[in-house]
Amino acid sequence: MQFLDIGTGIPSADNTHEVAQSVVPESRVVYVDNDPMVLVHARALLTSDPAGATAYLDADLRDPEKILADPQLHTTLDLSQPVGLVLIAVTHFLTDDDRPHEHVARLLDALPSGSWLALTHFTTDHIPNQIVERMYAEFASGRMKQDAVPRDRAEFASGRMKQDAVPRDRAEFARFFTGLELAEPGIVPVTEWRPQVPPEQRPALADASIYGAVARKP
């Protein structure tokens, strides 16, 4: 198995290569992040099984060509064989002007048939309107730092306002999987994606507010 994990973040428990190599020791993983501190921690803490391999690229999802041209990518992964593209909690940090759908599509274009995409994304679809409206009130009062005050929910969700994360609705999330074959249960809140705990023990949809899906490139 081989994976391209973009937006790695600070290493924690059950990192991509650790999970993959616990099943297939020969698994190979390339991590990508644009934060130098993440890469320092990754190189120090993420030790591969001797049978497999890991690499760490200083790059950004907004520049897929740099990722795809990096020699370490081609040394570590065989792009003639299926690759798992992992984008967990990263695309919502890109605004519409950053063209996230285009960049994800470009990466998928470079991967062969049989590759997979795993992606999660922040949404306000499950947050009650009164809570979202309270966000606007906080912005307007100055209690939440914002360069400009969003006029309504649509403007907030558009990603054109400067903010930490850009929420997208289900239709916008589904666009990332155009042309792919969704695995069951399809596009759902992450709390509902093959849950291993009963419903009463799961976080409420509004508390999670994250869509997730996994899909195969035909």
Domain ranges of the chain: 2-123+168-216
Query: Measured between alpha carbons, how far is 47 from 43 in angstroms, rounded to an integer?
Result: 8
More confident residue, 78 or 126: 78
Residue 145 pLDDT > 60: no
The region of weakest confidence among 16-25, 51-60, 175-184 is: 16-25
CATH second-level architecture of 2-123+168-216? 3-Layer(aba) Sandwich (3.40)
Q: Tens digits of per-residue pLDDT, 22-65?
A: 888 999 999 998 877 767 766 666 666 677 788 889 999 999 99
Q: What is the reported pTM?
A: 0.81
Query: What is the three-class DSSP state of 54?
Result: strand
Going through the chain in order, the beta strands assigned E by DSSP cover 2-6, 28-33, 53-58, 84-87, 116-122, 181-182, 188-189, 210-216
Query: Measured between alpha carbons, how far is 195 from 217 in angstroms, rounded to an integer?
Result: 24
Per-residue pLDDT at 41: 66
